[in-house]
Amino acid sequence: VSNAGVGMAGPPECQSLAAMQSLMDTNFFGLVRLVKEVLPDMKRRRGGHIVVISSIMGLQGIVFNDVYAASKFAVEGFCESLVVQALRFNVAISLVEPGPVTTEFEAKLYEEAERADYSRTDPETADIFTNLYLRNSKDVFASLGQTPEDIAEHTLRVIEAARPPFRHQTNAAYAPMAALKHADPSGALMTDAFYKLVFKYDAVLRLSLR
């Protein structure tokens, strides 16, 4: 089970390249190092199961989560490319894709975001992030966040499955996000929907979450 991960949220111009590289080293290359260690023995045995804790953000990017989403997209692409080869050796690969999970990990991330310096971006972007994104994110976590125990139960079901799924989403509330991308390959439908959700109907969003 690959479960190492760090988070990052905020305008990308306010984040150092070194911090971005460090996040990719943990979230993506941490998984790659694990697979390089365990896959050869699994292939020799012709049996095994690699379970990767990914994220719904590996399927759909979310505003102000640019680098974190990129790391999870990398995880998804790596596993999607690897799974066909692995199946030849009777090795299963499963991606567990949670939405928001209420843990100290998230609390620490948002505490750091509230204290961060946003002088390297323009005032409008800083205001959108601090007064719109952070506020809405807290409502999302309060309304839709799962517990770590819930994610563990989902992961256990994937591990114990007779035919392990390649992808397993833990929160049905996020299924429409992926559906929007498939409904319109140009991306226009998804982009328009998220723009309106963030900038036009944010009050309705907060009310519905509460």
Sheet holding 91-97, edge to edge: 48-53, 91-97, 167-169
Within a domain: residue 200? yes
> Residue 207's pLDDT is what?
60
Within a domain: residue 66? yes
Q: Which domain holds residue 190?
A: 12-209
Structure tokens, 95: 């991606």
**Separation between Cα atoms, residue 189 and residue 73, nearest integer Å:** 20
Q: What are the distances in angstroms from CA 57 to CA 61, 64, 116, 151, 190?
A: 5, 12, 23, 16, 14
Per-block average pLDDT, block size 10, for the chain (210 residues)?
91 95 97 98 98 94 94 98 97 94 76 83 92 81 83 96 95 80 89 85 63
> Residue 13's pLDDT is what?
95
> Residue 26's pLDDT is what?
97
CATH of the domain at 170: 3.40.50.720
Within a domain: residue 69? yes
Residues making up the chain, counted from first to last: 210
Within a domain: residue 3? no
Q: What is the domain count for the chain? A: 1
Within a domain: residue 158? yes
| Residues carrying an active site annotation | 68
